[in-house]
Amino acid sequence: MAAGLRLQRDGVPFTIFEKGSDVGGTWRENRYPGLTIDVPSPIYTFRDYRHGGWRRWMPDQPEIYEYFRDVATRSGLRRAIRFNTAVTAASWDGEAWVVQLDDGTSERYRVLVCAQGFLHHPRWPEISGLDSFTGELVHSAQWREEIVTAGKRVGVVGTGSTGTQLVGALAGAAAHVTQFQRTAQWIFPFPNFSVPGVMRSVLSSRPSLVTQIGDTLERVGDAVIGAATRHPGVARQVMDRIARLHLRTVRDPVLRQRLTPHEAPLCKRPVVSLRFYRAVQRPDVSVVDSAIDRVCPEGVVTADGRLHKLDVLILATGFDAHAYMRRIAITGRDGVTLEQAWADGPEGYRTVSLAGFPNLFMVMGPHSPLLSVSIHASAELQSDYIAQMLEVLDRDGVVAVEPTPDATSTWMQSIRDGVPGTLWASGCRSWYLGDGDTPVLWPYDRTSWFELLRTPDLADYEIQTTKRVPVTA
């Protein structure tokens, strides 16, 4: 949506292929009980469509989903979206991208922008016997409205943000909740509250104030949370102290020890909840840290031989976060596939383009910030960069642009140079780290991120020229 809004503003013709029936992305697909966002609402808006009417400081799924739907309608963006249409493959033919669709047809576009996001493809765990379970089995990202949890014995596999939210929401409503914990997580007690109606009215009438609040929140977040991840110091000590003090609200020392992570706070994606520690201290909630051996028709059998009888089993096991656009068979110049190009892990140039893949751009590609810079701000910044590259493509005689291998190598080395001293170099395991040798994240501050993408450095690009071709995306 960020890319589409920018292209629409510039008057560039484009088509968005959306495999779903509506906009909203992860907020359309995820509907599990207790789902809320974990960042303040003023940050979570498009710059030209600031929203001051959020009912909660950190809104829940229906409210966020409705915001995206409203923006798509008010902006007119829906007219450029082809819903229920999935892209299965794309190949560069020397002048344009041939895009294969799931109905068997193909279309040709000069520019391909990959903006699939990263919390997209559910990751199913490799647990023996999953298919044998006779109760309700569901991945949290594929929630079915007909699933009943009230009065049921519910198992939750996973301890990340989703698992934590589920346990907090189901405790007291389900007959019993069992959380299967492989790795304990640090839980941060950031407050969530209802926004007073007067404040909503003021913010709705002054979008610029929402922008100012959001910008301030991002700067403070980068100075505290971002700084804590990047280097040792007071900020890291403060965040560590907050997490440990919150853990001390678990009164039972045995349970508290079982809930104590072995890794430093913030190495993994931070989990935000004021409900979780209260929930797990209830008599109708259990935390099981014995490994899952198998699933049977009645429930889950753990390595200690115990059978946990269940009516509902929820897999809160996250996503294939580093698939990016790899579920599409993408073939670039000289027949090189994306899988081949990323054999050693995802990479790119300045998060937005790839050597060997002319006229291909990414929104929220590898090494985009995922912690102290909002998704909206990053996606809009990358879309601005792409818009500038489209201006280059619109020059007389320019056919294609792609970053040079040397520029890409230099960029990747700059990422590696920024990792030592960060929490992500402390030996922890996290989906932030990716499947290659270089962590798939941004190791620098917010200011450096905006400076990096403010203006393209055309010296880092190979620009192919010939006859003029009108630009489309």
**CATH code of the domain containing 333:** 3.50.50.60
473 belongs to a structural domain: no
Interacting residues of 254 by C-beta distance below 8 A, sequence separation 6+: none
Neighbours of 74 (CB within 10 A): 10
- On the question of pLDDT at 469 being above 60, the answer is no
Domain co-membership, 305 together with 433: no
Domain co-membership, 149 together with 282: yes
What is the amino acid identity at position 438?
T
Using pLDDT thresholds of 50, 70 and 90, give the confidence band for residue 56: very high
Using pLDDT thresholds of 50, 70 and 90, give the confidence band for residue 257: very high
237 belongs to a structural domain: yes
pLDDT in tens, 215-252: 999 999 999 999 999 999 999 999 999 999 999 999 99
Rounded distance, CA 324 to CA 119, Å?
9
Domain co-membership, 288 together with 239: yes
User: In Å, how far are 298, 299, 309, 381 from 224, measured between CA atoms?
Assistant: 47, 43, 44, 22
Rounded distance, CA 153 to CA 136, Å?
11
- On the question of pLDDT at 37 being above 70, the answer is yes
What tokens appear for 97 in the block? 């991208």
Residue with the larger pLDDT of the pair 167 and 117: 167
Res 431: pLDDT: 66
203 belongs to a structural domain: yes
Whether the CB-CB separation of 353 and 425 falls below 8 Å is answered with no
Whether the CB-CB separation of 334 and 326 falls below 8 Å is answered with no
DSSP type of residue 291: P
Rounded distance, CA 339 to CA 322, Å?
12
Mean of the per-residue pLDDT values for the chain? 94
Q: Is 313 left (phi over 0), alpha (psi -120 to 50) or beta?
A: beta
Domain co-membership, 336 together with 299: no
Q: What is the CA radius of gyration of the chain?
A: 23
Domain co-membership, 165 together with 111: no
DSSP state string for 445-458: -HHHHHHHHHS--G
Candidates 445, 421, 419; CA nearest to 432 is 419
pTM of the full structure: 0.94
pLDDT in tens, 291-307: 999 999 999 999 999 99
Res 434: pLDDT: 63
Average the pLDDT over 360-378 and give the result: 91
Domain co-membership, 217 together with 261: yes
Res 269: pLDDT: 85
- On the question of pLDDT at 139 being above 90, the answer is yes
Choosing from 262, 297, 315, the residue where a domain stops is 315
Structural domain span for residue 163:
130-195+199-315
Choosing from 269, 296, 315, the residue where a domain stops is 315
Average the pLDDT over 426-447 and give the result: 78
Res 66: pLDDT: 97
Domain co-membership, 235 together with 137: yes
Domain co-membership, 229 together with 182: yes
Average the pLDDT over 132-156 and give the result: 97
Choosing from 315, 341, 369, the residue where a domain stops is 315
- On the question of pLDDT at 458 being above 80, the answer is yes
Average the pLDDT over 29-42 and give the result: 94
Q: Which residue, chain included where needed, has tokens 């190009």?
A: 341
Average the pLDDT over 419-443 and give the result: 78
Average the pLDDT over 169-184 and give the result: 97
Maximum CA extent, the chain: 74
Share of the chain above pLDDT 90, in %: 87
99 belongs to a structural domain: yes
Which residues does residue 272 pair with via DSSP β-bridges, in sequence order?
188
Domain co-membership, 279 together with 304: yes
Domain co-membership, 174 together with 111: no
Res 437: pLDDT: 66
Domain co-membership, 207 together with 116: no
- On the question of pLDDT at 156 being above 90, the answer is yes
Domain co-membership, 105 together with 153: no
Neighbours of 283 (CB within 10 A): 6
Q: How big, in percent rounded to 5, are the helix, strand and coil portions of the chain?
A: 35, 20, 45
Give how many domains the chain has, as a whole number.
Answer: 2
Say how far residue 110 (Cα) sits from the centre of its chain: 28
163 belongs to a structural domain: yes
